[in-house]
Amino acid sequence: MKRVLIASTIIGSLLITSAAAFASTTDLRMTAVTGESQPAKKGTEAIQPANQNRQNGIEYTKEISYLDDGSVGAVVETWVDPVTHDKRIDMLAKEKDGTIHPISQYLKDNGTKWVEVSRNKSGKAVSGKYIKLTEEETMSADTWKSFAERKAEFAKTGWKNEGLLESQDGKQLVKLSGEDMLEDDRQPEGSKVVIHQYVQIEKDLGLPVKLEAYTEFEGIREKRYSITYENKYVDDKNLFDTTGIPMKEHKKLQWIHGVEY
């Protein structure tokens, strides 16, 4: 059965899709879970994150992606336990027959076990499957970033500090901008696509609250998507509990990240 994961966390893949759209219209349903925005290569000033070692519970992030027409592309929720290193991501999956339902994916046992749980429309767990990962597979599967890793990503040299602004609720936000190029094998033949990204970082936490991405092609700049982020700490140890869910063990990794199986 073919499954497509409808996710918003793959900023890099969205940019690749956007570039391909210059040549042809592409389906914006994503077929992978992973990928984060990469810091641009130009610019010199970067924000230094505050409270980088802060651990006040399980780290929760909600990402809502919006397409270029302003419609919601996807909503993805992630949880990371900085102590046990358990991780979870919730999103929607679309089956070949058109059925859409929520799923949860987990990385457990210190990154050595991948679990996927299918849920009904009300969110109740129905069934699950898991695979024990090799060391190499663990490294490729562990792609969700903790708060500290997210902060460090936007603190790297390459983001240009564009100054401060104030949010509607009175928080100070640092504006960052970055510019990059698609890899040569992703560029349209005979042309170059430039990627422009603009990020707003909550100054006190060092975490993003909004990102906008544009592509510039033959002198024309077009908005491709935007993402809003909600970041907070939660205290619910049951978030990673899969006890009592009927589970089937798999031996191959091909069903991870939305690959056909």
Per-residue pLDDT, 86:
93
Residues of the chain with pLDDT > 90: what percent? 34
Say yes or no to pLDDT of 21 above 80. Answer: no
Query: pLDDT per residue over 24-45, tens digit each?
Result: 222 222 222 223 333 333 333 4
Per-residue pLDDT, 189:
67
Question: What are 158's strand-pairing partners?
Answer: none
Query: pLDDT per residue over 189-222, tens digit each?
Result: 667 788 899 999 999 889 999 999 998 888 889 8
Per-residue pLDDT, 251:
77
Per-residue pLDDT, 182:
56
Say yes or no to pLDDT of 249 above 50. Answer: yes
Per-residue pLDDT, 55:
55
In this prediction, residues 46-60 reach a mean pLDDT of 60
Q: Could you give the CA distance from residue 231 to residue 183 in angstroms, rounded to a whole number?
A: 31
Per-residue pLDDT, 232:
92
Mean pLDDT of the chain: 75
In this prediction, residues 140-156 reach a mean pLDDT of 83
Q: Among 200, 231, 240, which Cα is nearest to 62's?
A: 231
The residues, ordered by sequence, that sit 6+ positions from 251 with a Cβ below 8 Å of its Cβ are 131
Residue whose token pair is 């999956």: 93
Residue whose token pair is 């050595």: 112
In this prediction, residues 123-135 reach a mean pLDDT of 89
Between residues 46 and 121, which one has the greater pLDDT?
A: 121
Per-residue pLDDT, 184:
59
